């Protein structure tokens, strides 16, 4: 199996560390959305997945205070996060008539986000995509949404991504099978041919 990387980043790379007795992902961790192909593969292979509730359980730290549930934030912090949500929703609906822009540019030009709100968007949106807000394309975000990537409907693979990678790798490994094309010819020549399924 040959794995090709498009860029130097951990996102998208499946690397599960089981050395401490439980799976810890060093690369991709979540299945984003109900229609993600990873869900279908897990169903076909028989790997269980468990729902992840990140957005509804979001804890946020404001002004150097301890992180609290979003619902317990001071009004100003809660309003700032609502502004970020509305800005991202607006970007997702923008027809981009003037061409693609980064989410950072869009949030400044169309939603007027200040640096505090931009920093929140960086953590909540860009870092989940393993990039910066300035490096995140609005057109790519829209494409993800059209393809069913819903970060509010996420899951994790039970046992980690390594189980899926291993199962997919197993499906490509040929199993040797002895095929005698002509047993009489094989006996007379003293030759036995062993072919793999891939050669058949």
Number of Cβ within a 10 Å radius of residue 111: 18
Strands 154-157 and 68-69: unpaired
What is the DSSP-derived secondary structure letter of residue 130? T
Which pTM was predicted? 0.60
The parts of the chain modelled with pLDDT lower than 70 are 1-13, 148-152, 174-200
Q: Answer yes or no: are the C-beta atoms of 109 and 101 closer than 8 Å.
A: yes
Supply the pLDDT for residue 52.
86
Supply the pLDDT for residue 108.
97
Supply the pLDDT for residue 3.
55
Burial of 119 (0-12, 13-18, 19+ CB in 10 A): middle
Please work out, in degrees rounded to the nearest 5, the angle formed at the alpha carbon of residue 136 by the alpha carbons of 133 and 138.
Answer: 115
pLDDT tens, 128-154? 777 899 999 999 988 887 776 666 678
- Number of helical (H) and strand (E) elements in the chain, helices listed first: 7, 9
Number of Cβ within a 10 Å radius of residue 129: 21
Q: Answer yes or no: are the C-beta atoms of 102 and 135 closer than 8 Å.
A: yes
Supply the pLDDT for residue 2.
57
Buried b (16+ CB within 10 A) or exposed e, 148-167: ebebebbbbbeebbbbbbee
- Rounded to 5 degrees, φ, ψ at 16 are -100, 130
> In 3-state terms, what secondary structure has residue 82?
helix
Supply the pLDDT for residue 38.
87
What is the DSSP-derived secondary structure letter of residue 129? G
């Amino acid at each position: 199996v040959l794995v090709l990387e498009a860029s130097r980043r951990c996102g998208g790379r499946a690397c599960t560390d089981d050395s401490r007795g439980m799976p810890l992902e060093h690369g991709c961790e979540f299945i984003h959305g109900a229609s993600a192909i990873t869900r279908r593969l897990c169903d076909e292979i028989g790997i269980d997945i468990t729902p992840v509730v990140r957005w509804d359980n979001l804890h946020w730290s404001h002004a150097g205070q301890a992180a609290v549930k979003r619902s317990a934030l001071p009004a100003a912090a809660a309003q700032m996060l609502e502004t970020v949500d509305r800005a991202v929703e607006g970007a997702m609906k923008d027809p981009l008539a003037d061409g693609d822009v980064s989410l950072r540019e869009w949030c400044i030009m169309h939603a007027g986000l200040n640096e505090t709100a931009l920093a929140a968007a960086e953590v909540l949106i860009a870092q989940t995509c393993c990039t910066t807000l300035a490096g995140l394309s609005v057109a790519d975000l829209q494409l993800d949404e059209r393809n069913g990537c819903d970060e509010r409907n996420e899951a994790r693979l039970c046992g980690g991504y390594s189980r899926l990678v291993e199962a997919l790798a197993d499906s490509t490994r040929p199993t040797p099978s002895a095929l005698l094309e002509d047993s009489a010819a094989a006996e007379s020549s003293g030759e036995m041919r062993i072919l793999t399924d891939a050669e058949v």
